[in-house]
Structure 1
């Protein structure tokens, strides 16, 4: 076995199947005509919350540790966000670059603001690429972390513009990688979270009262447009899949 390659390919490890570790594609994946990839030890470690540590008294501390392991230092955050604004933002402008960097300068995302941390992690997630049409182990771990963080904050009563933006980016990730029914469920939850926040309020006066400034109102309106586009895209996709019909 070549140096640095794990004992099994990513798909066999995930499904707990016996893998013969043959390169470039293991025998089982070849027979099933499935993508096959081998994560190496050079990749960052998978960071998935331990369910035993997610009791009510410790859940936030546990998630802070998981976030810190992924977020790393300020230079890593800068690299992530620069990649996002250089790529995804060009065709999905649902974040204000000015507002984002203004807030980034005033917080420590790995410790101070859970909803802002969720947004930063979602920005990194949506920029992730598959390998041989399959998600890498670190990407799957990051996906699970962001989903856990969003669910935890939701259960704790947190709903903010950053949370809605993070939700939308997760849905775009799910849509882009064909993760169903997760994308379908997420798209519906996005609409309800945005409505609860007042993103779709009728008049400009109501929006300014809700968000405090016209700059944030403009950002919120772009988020609402992105949510509607994502929801319609997911519905169109689901309606074309045999045995899965949206209503």
Structure 2
């Protein structure tokens, strides 16, 4: 053994990042070669029964250091390209198997590859340091999240605090879109179009080159919300359509209450609820875009009377919601539904209004005028129920009431033009 090798102390076990990514660790301290090359924090577990703390590489490492940046290349890049060619081939196969045969993907215990954006942007430079990310997140959860709660707050902040969490690139893209969605016009009325263009470009790259991912879909929904709020048409219509296809590919359009997916993979209850809320957001945006032109085809199927509603928003944010709290549209008549569940109910009624105007009307024995009158009464009942719940629970309701009242006031949605 050379004198240089003798001076290198080896840990007894692999570091946590190498364990997480299932890579061979050389156990060098204070930082292994893989963590050094990837420029991420190297953490070794403490010995069992001892008083040692976790061994960490010297120097503070930001949690965003794992974000890829293709704006510069090291001299060793060419040598690594050859060694990574086979692994890249296997990773592309894993993504295809996950989409085409999820059961085979589960049985063979494959893993989805990490997202590498082929764009010369340093993602961390767009969203700032850890303190800036926290400010963006707090602003988002105090504004957009209050009426469109599609991101599980506890899970989101847990990912921020986990230095070895995977999917950091997708998480960074989601944070960037949170920042975009919370960015309003300047004093002169101009919007930050540069940030919007960058977010669109990065999101398109994530859709095209990366594996299917919930944060990527959430980022797309936030981009659509920004486009709707700033009247960026027809981009908003196209973005919502792309989100619908992405959600169908993720198979979140027909979620049951089972805590296992089609491949038998166990999933947490909060993750299941998050996916249900994401799909309801896609349904809502898809129908909102059709209010001004009901003849425009939708990108999603209409929800049914047995479709499950989101649980109460407060319970979900607190992490106290459970599967027993879920109700379907047909049984959602309590005064403790939550704002987003009311918005989902309004979305269902919008679907009924749009179906009544379609060439194939609803199967109902009532005449068209009676169907329209019944639908109007149901919409007004939903508005009154939302008002009662807001008074009892001191909640802020507006999105679902606006949805319902807009239909009630627009006569073209309740009567067909004379032939």
Deviations 1:74-130 (A, max 9, x none): 110000000000111111111110011011112589x97221111101111111101
Q: 1:61 to 1:155 in 2, by over 3 A?
A: closer
Deviations 1:183-207 (A, max 9, x none): 0000111111011011113433276
- Tell me how far apart the structure 2 counterparts of residues 108 and 172 of structure 1 sit (CA, whole Å): 31
Quick check: which has more Rg, 1 or 2?
A: 2
> Structure 1 residue 60 and structure 2 residue 118: aligned?
yes
Deviations 1:144-203 (A, max 9, x none): 111111111111142211011100011011001100000000011111101101111343
- Tell me how far apart the structure 1 counterparts of residues 217 and 266 of structure 2 sit (CA, whole Å): 13
- Tell me how far apart the structure 2 counterparts of residues 159 and 193 of structure 1 sit (CA, whole Å): 8
Q: 1:170 to 1:107 in 2, by over 3 A?
A: farther
- Tell me how far apart the structure 2 counterparts of residues 59 and 70 of structure 1 sit (CA, whole Å): 14
- Tell me how far apart the structure 2 counterparts of residues 170 and 71 of structure 1 sit (CA, whole Å): 16
The alignment covers a number of residue pairs equal to 184
Q: 2:208 matched to which residue of 1?
A: 155
Contact 2:244 2:282 in 1 (8 A): yes
> Structure 1 residue 167 and structure 2 residue 220: aligned?
yes
Q: Select the structure with the greater relative contact order (CA < 8 A; seq sep ≥ 6).
A: 1
CA RMSD of the aligned region, Å? 2.9
- Tell me how far apart the structure 2 counterparts of residues 182 and 128 of structure 1 sit (CA, whole Å): 18
**Residue in structure 1 matching 2:152, options 96, 99, 103:** 96
Q: 2:360 matched to which residue of 1?
A: none
SS at match of 1:204: coil
Which segments of 5 or more consecutive residues in structure 1 lack a partner in the other structure? 1-56
- Tell me how far apart the structure 2 counterparts of residues 180 and 78 of structure 1 sit (CA, whole Å): 31
Q: 1:87 to 1:167 in 2, by over 3 A?
A: same
More helix by share: 1
**Residue in structure 2 matching 1:129, options 184, 193, 196:** 184
Q: 1:77 matched to which residue of 2?
A: 133
Contact 2:212 2:250 in 1 (8 A): yes
Which segments of 5 or more consecutive residues in structure 2 lack a partner in the other structure? 1-80, 82-115, 298-419
Deviations 1:5-30 (A, max 9, x none): xxxxxxxxxxxxxxxxxxxxxxxxxx
Q: 1:223 matched to which residue of 2?
A: 278
